[in-house]
Structure 1
Amino acid sequence: MTDIRTDDAAPADRTPTTTGTAMTGTAAGSADDILAIATEQVLGRGVGLTREQVLAVLSLPDERLPELLDLAHKVRMRWCGPEVEVEGIISLKTGGCPEDCHFCSQSGLFESPVRSAWIDIPALVEAAKQTAKTGATEFCIVAAVRGPDERLMSQVAAAVEAIRAEVDIQVACSLGMLTQDQVDALVEMGVHRYNHNLETARSHFPNVVSTHTWEERFDTLRMVRDAGMEVCCGGILGMGETREQRAEFAAELAELCPDEVPMNFLNPRPGTPFGDLEVMPATEALACVGAFRLALPRTILRFAGGREITLGDLGAQQGILGGINAVIVGNYLTTLGRPAEEDLDLLVDLQMPIKALNDTM
């Protein structure tokens, strides 16, 4: 889910960090046998890989990518099962955000084509109905804000009530950083999952956002988890981070123990500071899918934004057979996704059943 959005960091800049070709080189001491280690540790015992082990996986040569994805698929099947969770998302409030997330065209600080707009309650209910018709069990209401004000919380409360009255679907939210009172209010509304992405490794975060900190985001996630809501937290790959920072990010997510991790790949947006970055190579993206599955063996790992331009149709299939067990269907917040029918047909072809609503309760 996209926004399911340092102390030791280098100064922020907007120059992409060189990552090299995915799956090349070695990591000291373990690269040659890391998949054998992962087979025993993750597949056999359900214990996720450490930061150093994830780095070793990401450092494997390209020719071992099929072996990695095959192992990741086996891990997913053993510890999560064959079901795929389907979700739709919609933006209640688009554009005009005061934050400077360098990847996001909804920031009011950048010269992007996205302008501020609100969707009314009937339109949200209709969107939830259409999402449910795809077989989806999740419908996420998203707002482009630093955090919700009183008006937005009132809109969300009315939307959740209206959707729950007419649509048999779980309602999730992504509303930025929260106070404890706002967390409690969302629980009272019946919101069962909250998305707030950490976006990237802690050490790389200042290169991506300067108007708030990684720790502020983590504080919201801690409150959400402590309140009993499910935690959805992931990020975007391909924002100039190093291979080491990708391993760092996977380990940080594993420490958080989120219920769901959305995997986004940067789709450079015109007018944003990251608008000129190159699209992540497909081999690197697929290596990250496999590595994150080995770090998070029991977590819902969801294909989210950017997979269409990064992976294409074949890559989507490889990802679902390489550790992914959830997808966002339809469009994203400001970019186009694959038609829902294409993803649903792919799941049928791969004999991957859609998770039923009663399995999410």
Structure 2
Amino acid sequence: MTPPVTTVSPTAQQPATELPADVTALLATARAQVLVEGRGLDEAQVLAVLELPDEAVPELLALAHEVRTRWCGPEVEVEGIVSLKTGGCPEDCHFCSQSGKFDSPVRSAWLDVPSLVEAAKATAATGATEFCIVAAVRGPDARLMAQVREGVAAIRAAVDINVACSLGMLTQDQVDELVAMGVHRYNHNLETARSHFPNVVTTHSWEERLDTCQMVRAAGMELCCGAILGVGETLAQRAELAAQLAVLEPDEVPLNFLNPRPGTPFGDLPVVGAKDALRAIAAYRLAMPRTILRYAGGREITLGDLTEDGMLGGINAVIVGNYLTTLGQSPTTDLAMLDRLSMPIKSLQATL
């Protein structure tokens, strides 16, 4: 068991505020249940955390950081992603500028195998252990599977890094083929709570996404399955999704925050507030104490100067570099942040 590190969140360094008795009791229960016993919070408890007042956020983040270091250790897993097939997707995920159904500036394009290999090499040079190949599709056709097969083989021959994929919904045969290729982890997000999903996507169902996740888990690949927050869901639905993810038990949960894209149905939605984002990070950590909880898209505009508070509030993985259609921070900026926080990068051997 890894002892907690002593680093404290900048937010937690603020002068202590006497909290209401019910808030103190909630945090004490969470400490005993999650930190000591290792049992994640249930849906009702997660909702209570999401509803905590701003003055409780420093203590909440400090607890989530202790939970992370106790049950996951001090290391941070670093990942890079690249788009193999961009744009032209037939699905109508209302947050996504890659949908062919919306009047967005993203146009369809393919990346060749040599470019995939170069992107994997650049990712490995940052110290990353994971490189994810992403395609904007409902699910892979024969052409895409052939391109992935060739790309995975070329990457594994050229660079020492785990290869992950995110190719939409899969059949059992496709799951088996990815396993045979040596794909380490598969990403397929549930995106939002089951009760809210029809307001976000209409061209496929939440249950279809869950089916792919369950097949991936049963086949022995690691499962990466996460969320995008700020797509019109209520706090109760954020708690609902945390509980649904906890039941699924993914190896990794990426947390995305909506970066409203022009031309999409959600292009005018507000950005999630920084304190709400921090509460969500801590709540998801307390719901899933042993899961890799990864900073993903939208963190830069959502958290800004409070990004480090999230790292010290339950996050233990980051995507470095750009995302699929939006810009992220430079890898050197993120790596400097980890160095400043005395957070070691997880080694490749530790992920095997």
Return the TM-score normalized by structure 2. 0.94
2:122 aligned residue? 130
1:100 aligned residue? 92
Return the letter of the residue paired with 1:108: G
1:349 aligned residue? 340
Any idea what the Cα deviations from partners look like across 1:267-300, whole Å, max 9, x if unmatched? 0000000000011100000000000000000000
Three-state SS of the structure 1 residue aligned to 2:40 is coil
The CA deviation at 1:315 is: 1.7
For CA contacts below 8 A with separation 6 or more, give which structure has more relative contact order.
Answer: 1
The 5 A counterparts of 1:208-247 are 208-247=200-239
Conserved 8 A contact 2:136-2:168: yes
Return the letter of the residue paired with 2:329: R
Out of 113, 135, 146, the residue aligned to residue 138 of structure 2 is 146
2:296 aligned residue? 304
Q: Distance in 1 between matches of 2:174 and 2:284?
A: 31
Return the letter of the residue paired with 1:343: D
1:43 aligns with 2:35: yes
Identity %: 74
Q: Distance in 2 between matches of 1:351 and 1:109?
A: 45
Return the letter of the residue paired with 1:232: C
Unaligned runs of 5+ in 1: 1-28
The CA deviation at 1:33 is: 1.6
Q: Distance in 2 between matches of 1:145 and 1:92?
A: 11
Three-state SS of the structure 2 residue aligned to 1:47 is coil
Any idea what the Cα deviations from partners look like across 1:195-215, whole Å, max 9, x if unmatched? 000000000000000000000
Return the letter of the residue paired with 1:116: S
Return the letter of the residue paired with 1:104: C
1:68 aligned residue? 60
Three-state SS of the structure 2 residue aligned to 1:287 is helix
Q: Distance in 2 between matches of 1:356 and 1:59?
A: 37
1:90 aligned residue? 82
Q: Distance in 2 between matches of 1:318 and 1:117?
A: 37
Conserved 8 A contact 2:294-2:317: yes
1:318 aligned residue? 309
2:16 aligned residue? none
The CA deviation at 1:48 is: 0.2
Aligned residues: CA RMSD: 0.9
2:272 aligned residue? 280
Out of 159, 167, 172, the residue aligned to residue 164 of structure 2 is 172
Out of 318, 322, 342, the residue aligned to residue 331 of structure 1 is 322
Q: Distance in 1 between matches of 2:51 and 2:125?
A: 42
Return the TM-score normalized by structure 1. 0.91
Q: Distance in 1 between matches of 2:275 and 2:321?
A: 24
Three-state SS of the structure 1 residue aligned to 2:165 is strand
Return the letter of the residue paired with 1:33: A
Q: Distance in 1 between matches of 2:317 and 2:48?
A: 26
Conserved 8 A contact 1:41-1:48: yes
Conserved 8 A contact 1:197-1:232: yes
